[in-house]
Chains A and B, each alone.
Chain A
C-alpha cells in the first residue's frame, strides 16, 4: 500500500477516526467515476449494452462480497445502505415474524445504537424482552457470563464482532456453537470487525451479519446484509416496490422475486456496490491478516506510550481492535478534540453512539482514537506529543 493511493492522505492531516469512516483509495473513486462517465444506466434492464454492463458489474460486486466473507450462496448477499439498515431489516423483517411475548433477545451494554434500538423496538412492538450479557472487568463477553443469562426463552444473541468504543473482540465462533445447540439465532454487527480482519461466515456459522462499505475504504451509503439462505428466504421484505416483484394484480395477488432481488426493492445503490467491490479487491491485495497484524502493532505502540502519561485515563487497556478510548484528566473530551484539531489531528469525542455503555464504564464521554492500515507510528508520535503536556492543552484548547 502506498500513501499516494489515497487522495485524502495527501492532505495535511492525521486522521485517527477510522471507526467513524475511512478514506477512499483512488481505485475506488475511479471505479465509481467510470460508472458515472461510461455506463451510467439502471440495473436489471439489460436491454442495451451499457445496462447489461451495469448488471454485470453489480453482480460481480456481489460475488466479490460473497468470496470476501466466504458465504456459501451468492443469494445470501443483500446490498443495503449500511450496517444500520441491515440490522433493522434483520430485526424487523425476520425476527418480528418469529418472536413471541417473553422471548428473550441478548445484547450487551457496549453495543452501538444500531444494535440496540431495533431490538428495543421489537420489545415495544411484540413483547420480546431485551436482556444484557454482563461484561467482565475488561468489558469483555465471556462464555461463562453468556451461559449465565441464557434461558429457554432466549431466541436471539445480537453482538458486535468488535465493539466501537472498547474494541473488544467477541468469541463469535464459540458463541454460535453454543447458541445453535440451544436453538438460538446469532446476529453479528460487523461494522467494526469486517473492515479489520478476516471474516468467514461459514466458519463462524453465523446466522446474520451486517456491515458497512464506508468503514472499509468503500463509499458511503452502501452496506451488506448477509444471512443464511434458508433464513433470508423467510425474511419479510421491509421495502416493496420496483425490481423486487414478479407480478401483481391486487392486494391478494402480489408475487415477489427470488433472493437476493426480493430484498432489494427500488433502484439499488449501483455505484456504491461497484465501489465496495473495488474496495474489497483493494483490501484483499493488502491482505486481511496483514491489516489485522499491523493494526494490533499500532495499537500496542500507542498504548505503550499513552499509559506512560499520568493524566491520560484509558478506558480500554485490553482490546483487540485498533481502538483506544481515553480521557485527559479534568478536561472535557470535546475540548481535547478541539485542541488536537488545531494541530490537524482528527479524533472523535463523545459517547460514540454507545449511550448505555456509561453504566458499564462509569464514564459518559471519552476521546476515541481508531486506526486503519494507512496510519503510521508517526501519527501516534504526533498525538502522544500533544497529549503529554497538559498545561499546553489547557492553554490552547479554546
Chain B
C-alpha cells in the first residue's frame, strides 16, 4: 500500500472513528488501556455472546494512530469468534513486530505495516489490541 493511501485511511478513521461512544446497555465489558510512554487513554467496551464478538465501542483521548487503530480494529473484529479475533490480533502484532504475517487477513489493518519504523508510535497502534486482549483472555479462561 502506498504512503498516500495509508495516510488517507488513517486520517479518515481518526476524524470519523467507528463506534466512538459509550454503550447504552450494561451487557458490555470495559477495559481501560493507556500508554505509559505517552498520553493515550482509551476505554474499550466489548459485548460478547456465545463466544462471538457482537459489538465493540470506545471512548477516550488518544492520538491519530491510536484512535484510527481502534476504529480499524473495531471494524475488523466485530462478528468474529473469540478465537478468530485472537488469530487476527496475533497476525496484527506480528506485523508490528516485523514477524511473518498474513496481510490479506488484516484488511485495512495493514496501514500500520511501516509503523515499526517509528518506535514510539508502534505502541500507539497496538494500544487498543493490548486492551481488548485482556477481555478476550478472560473469556478463554472461563
Residues of A bordering B, CB below 8 Å: 332-335, 338, 349-351, 364-365, 394-395, 397-398
Contacts and interface: CB of A to CB of B under 8 A. Distances in A.
B63 interface: yes
Contact of B39 (A334, A394, A395, A398): A334
Nearest to A351: B39
Shortest beta-carbon contacts, A-B, top 4: A350-B39, A334-B63, A332-B63, A335-B64
A365 B118 CA distance: 22
Given A333-B39, A334-B38, A398-B65, 13 more contacts: A332-B62, A332-B63, A332-B64, A334-B63, A335-B63, A335-B64, A349-B38, A350-B38, A351-B39, A365-B39, A398-B7, A398-B10, A398-B64
A383 to B, nearest CB: 20
Interface string B39-52: 11000000000000
Give chain B's interface residue range (CB within 8 Å of chain A): 10 to 19
A365 B61 contact: yes
A334 B35 CA distance: 12
Contacts of B61: 332, 364-365
Looking at chain A's contact residues, the main secondary structure is mixed
Contacts of A335: 63-64
Interface of B: 7, 10-11, 38-40, 61-65, 67, 118, 121
A350 B35 CA distance: 12
B64 A397 contact: yes
16 contacts: A333-B39, A334-B38, A334-B39, A334-B40, A338-B63, A338-B121, A349-B39, A350-B39, A351-B39, A364-B39, A394-B11, A395-B7, A398-B10, A398-B11, A398-B64, A398-B65
Contacts of B118: 338
Contacts of B64: 332, 335, 397-398
A333 B121 CA distance: 14
Contacts of B65: 398
B54 to A, nearest CB: 30
A253 B58 CA distance: 61
Contacts of B11: 394, 398
Contacts of A338: 63, 118, 121
Contacts of A349: 38-39
B124 to A, nearest CB: 8
A163 B18 CA distance: 39
A395 B63 CA distance: 14
B97 to A, nearest CB: 20
Nearest to B68: A398
A27 B7 CA distance: 46
Contacts of B10: 398
Nearest to A395: B7
A397 B40 CA distance: 16
A8 B135 CA distance: 46
A333 B39 CA distance: 9
B8 to A, nearest CB: 10
A395 B121 CA distance: 17
A334 B63 CA distance: 6
B66 to A, nearest CB: 9
A351 B61 CA distance: 12
A288 B105 CA distance: 62
Nearest to A350: B39
A332 B4 CA distance: 21
Nearest to A366: B39
Nearest to A394: B11
Contacts of A364: 39, 61
A398 B63 CA distance: 10
A335 B40 CA distance: 11
Contacts of A333: 39
